[in-house]
């Protein structure tokens, strides 16, 4: 057992001035701490006061990052109690700037780095990670970080942030989380020229050598951490689809950009029908942007439309895509494989012309290009729909297709709006709108928690549809009344619990679980969840 200063230097043990007199005696902390024994609540208030004195969000990010190193339990107590204020600081939009500056603000390592130099020994070096019971891994290669592009090893801020959300919003135990950076270089010359850059200082590994390295990592995880769920994050679209198709049926994994984004967006579309009065099966949807996020949403919508009674062909023809070259139509040259199933028979045309021709009820942006939903676009959608549904999903906030204020103003207050990053409330003609954020954290933490409880073999498409419906059902009338298609973040732990129960139930129903079903599944999920106000709960044996 650690004692004395070693306890205070271990972020997983350190509770600082919260240690009681008896604990100080047993642990040899006398003289190492000030006299007063403070409560955890007092410590939370001290942290929040310091946080609010900071002049910029990146400074707040650095403070919270350091707190996580210093006292893990206090960090999560702060996040859980102040989730609406803290989530934008530890994830979008602030994490975008944190990734850009990662090598400049680096303090202490929080994750695992794999480079081309490690080929052939990844399983061996994974043994250097101190924890052995890993259940959730978030991995990126840094090639397509948010809407910011290739940031190389600086993209490690994404797995770190995602796993903090796993713990804060779904109670995944911190020691069971592992952030991984597949640092295979970067083609961003500005980053390579940065003398403080901490990553592999070469151009990106490509071709067979790249795919072999990723496969070695995946297979090494199966050996070292056979119960671990791998979440692929921010890979380029072709690679994201390649790995999803390769591993989804035989490895416990999913791609958050494709599947997580899809579940959250579809839940928002379901909720929007409570405002527009349109039946989901009657919707026509247009996507601006045809990358992994947009096509992932469409793929899940196809399944949802079919469950509503549409044929597969009818479902596909409710969904239309535009990219930088215009409408994706049959016969267009150089279409990516994931776009081909959405290439319908139609004349080629550009965005505004396509809006006129196809008259969508729902417009979803996943472009990474700010301002693409301009005044003319919003006015056109408003002319065709009493309540136009506008999803500006690109992250961070600076990349959103339009702002909340623009959507409400240009639609004369009629838009049903949501975004990928948070926007402040908007008052238009005396009415207050509080748009919800279509944050993947509404779904992926609960899916991970359900996977842990059921020890499921894979994550099935049915699990994502169930998670989607669970999220949509938890949107209350008070949320709808304030213009939000999602619950408040203050409800997110309850939501994650509900998603986990639903996902685990599907695993047991479908025969994908590798453990026996608990008699009381809801209690089993609740008992597992880490509560920073109580420390690690007793939990069930999983």
* Domain harbouring 271, CATH code: 3.40.50.720
Sheet order of strands, 112-114 included: 112-114, 177-182, 136-140, 229-232, 253-255
Same-domain pairing of 269 and 312? yes
| Sign of the alpha-carbon dihedral angle for 113, 116, 117, 118 | positive
pLDDT digits (tens, 9 = 90+) for 413-453: 999 999 998 899 999 999 999 998 999 999 999 999 999 99
DSSP structural state of residue 483 = T
Label residue 465 left, alpha or beta by phi (over 0 means left) and psi (-120 to 50 means alpha).
alpha
Burial state string for 457-488 with b = 16 or more CB within 10 A and e = fewer than 16 = bbbbeebbbbbbbbbbebbeeebbeebbbbbb
Cα separation, 434 vs 229, in Å, equals 34
Across residues 33-39, what is the average pLDDT? 97
Across residues 360-379, what is the average pLDDT? 96
Same-domain pairing of 219 and 343? no
pLDDT confidence bin for 123, thresholds 50/70/90:
very high
Secondary structure class of 416 (helix, strand, coil): strand
pLDDT confidence bin for 538, thresholds 50/70/90:
very low
Cα separation, 342 vs 354, in Å, equals 15
Query: Where do the DSSP E strands lie in 460-542?
Result: none
Q: Is residue 226 domain-resident?
A: yes
Same-domain pairing of 305 and 434? yes
399 burial level (CB within 10 Å; 0-12, 13-18, 19+)? buried
Secondary structure class of 418 (helix, strand, coil): strand
Same-domain pairing of 331 and 252? no
Secondary structure class of 389 (helix, strand, coil): strand
**Residues with a known catalytic role:** 91, 162
Same-domain pairing of 120 and 253? yes
Residues pairing with 319 in the sheet = 285
Q: Is residue 227 domain-resident?
A: yes
The answer to whether 257 and 233 are in contact (CB under 8 A) is yes
Same-domain pairing of 290 and 200? no
Pairing mode, strands 326-327 and 319-323: antiparallel
Residue-wise DSSP of 189-241: HHHHT-TT--S--SSPP-HHHHHHHHHHHHHHHHHH-TTPEEEE-S--HHHHH
Through-space distance between the first and last CA atoms of the chain, rounded to whole angstroms: 25
Q: Is residue 538 domain-resident?
A: no
Q: Is residue 314 domain-resident?
A: yes
- Any idea how long the chain is? 542
Same-domain pairing of 284 and 414? yes
| Sign of the alpha-carbon dihedral angle for 30, 31, 36, 38 | negative
Query: Where do the DSSP E strands lie in 234-361?
Result: 253-255, 285-288, 319-323, 326-327
Same-domain pairing of 252 and 268? no
Q: How high is the pLDDT of residue 534?
A: 82
Q: How high is the pLDDT of residue 288?
A: 97
Q: Is residue 495 domain-resident?
A: no
Same-domain pairing of 268 and 246? no
pTM: 0.93
Same-domain pairing of 125 and 30? no
286: its two tokens = 């247009």
Same-domain pairing of 224 and 311? no
Q: Which of 401, 423, 440 is the last residue of a domain?
A: 440
Q: Is residue 528 domain-resident?
A: no
Domain that holds residue 413: 259-440
pLDDT confidence bin for 31, thresholds 50/70/90:
very high
* Domain harbouring 135, CATH code: 3.40.50.10380
Label residue 539 left, alpha or beta by phi (over 0 means left) and psi (-120 to 50 means alpha).
left
What average pLDDT does the chain have? 95
Q: Is residue 523 domain-resident?
A: no
Q: Which of 212, 240, 257 is the last residue of a domain?
A: 257
Q: Is residue 451 domain-resident?
A: no
Same-domain pairing of 156 and 15? no
Q: How high is the pLDDT of residue 451?
A: 98
pLDDT digits (tens, 9 = 90+) for 229-244: 999 999 999 999 999 9
* Domain harbouring 47, CATH code: 1.20.1370.30
The domain tally of the chain equals 3
Q: Which of 32, 54, 80 is the last residue of a domain?
A: 80
Q: How high is the pLDDT of residue 535?
A: 57
Instruction: Estimate to the nearest angstrom the gap between the alpha carbon of 356 and the chain centroid.
Output: 34
């Amino acid at each position: 057992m650690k004692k004395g200063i070693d306890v205070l230097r271990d972020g997983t043990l350190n509770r600082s001035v919260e240690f009681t007199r008896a604990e100080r005696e047993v642990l040899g902390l006398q003289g190492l701490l000030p006299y007063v024994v403070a409560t955890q609540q007092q410590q939370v208030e001290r942290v929040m006061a310091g946080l609010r004195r900071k002049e910029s969000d990146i400074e707040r990010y650095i403070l919270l990052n350091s707190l996580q190193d210093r006292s893990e339990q206090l960090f999560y107590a702060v996040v859980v109690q102040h989730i609406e204020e803290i989530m934008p600081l530890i994830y979008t939009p602030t994490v975008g700037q944190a990734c850009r500056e990662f090598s400049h603000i680096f303090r202490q390592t929080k994750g695992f780095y794999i480079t081309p130099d490690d080929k052939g020994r990844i399983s061996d070096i994974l043994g250097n990670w101190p924890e052995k019971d890993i259940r959730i891994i978030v991995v990126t290669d840094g090639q397509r970080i948010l809407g910011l592009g290739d940031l190389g090893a600086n993209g490690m801020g994404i797995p770190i942030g995602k796993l903090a959300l796993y713990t804060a919003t779904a109670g995944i135990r911190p020691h069971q989380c592992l952030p991984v950076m597949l640092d295979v270089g970067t083609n961003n010359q500005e980053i390579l020229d940065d003398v403080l850059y901490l990553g592999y200082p070469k151009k990106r590994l490509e071709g067979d050598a790249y795919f072999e390295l990723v496969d070695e990592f995946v297979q090494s995880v199966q050996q070292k951490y056979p119960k671990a769920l791998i979440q692929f994050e921010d890979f380029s679209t072709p690679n994201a689809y390649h790995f999803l198709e390769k591993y989804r049926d035989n490895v416990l994994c999913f791609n958050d950009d494709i599947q997580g984004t899809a579940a959250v967006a579809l839940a928002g579309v379901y909720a929007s029908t409570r405002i527009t009065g349109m039946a989901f099966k009657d919707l026509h949807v247009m996507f601006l942007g045809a990358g992994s996020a947009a096509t992932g949403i469409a793929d899940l919508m196809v399944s949802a439309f079919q469950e509503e009674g549409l044929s597969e062909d009818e479902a596909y023809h409710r969904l239309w895509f535009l990219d930088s070259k215009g409408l994706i139509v049959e016969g267009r040259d150089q279409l990516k494989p994931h776009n081909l199933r959405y290439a319908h028979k139609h004349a080629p045309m550009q965005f505004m012309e396509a809006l006129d021709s196809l008259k969508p009820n729902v417009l979803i942006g996943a472009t990474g290009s700010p301002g693409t939903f301009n005044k003319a676009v919003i006015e056109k959608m408003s002319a065709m729909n009493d309540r136009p549904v506008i999803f500006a999903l690109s992250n961070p906030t600076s990349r959103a297709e339009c702002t909340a204020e623009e959507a409400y103003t240009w639609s004369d207050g009629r838009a049903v709006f949501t975004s990928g990053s948070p926007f402040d409330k908007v008052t238009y003609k005396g009415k207050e709108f509080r748009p919800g954020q279509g944050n993947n954290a509404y779904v992926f933490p609960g899916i991970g928690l359900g996977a842990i409880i059921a020890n499921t073999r894979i994550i099935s498409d049915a699990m994502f549809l169930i998670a989607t419906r669970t999220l949509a059902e938890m949107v209350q009338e008070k949320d709808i009344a304030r213009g939000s298609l999602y619950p408040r973040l203050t409800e997110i732990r309850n939501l994650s619990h509900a998603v986990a129960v639903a996902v685990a139930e599907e695993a047991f129903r479908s025969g994908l679980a590798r453990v026996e079903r608990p008699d009381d599944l809801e209690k089993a999920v609740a008992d597992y969840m880490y509560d920073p106000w109580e420390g690690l709960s007793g939990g069930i044996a999983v």
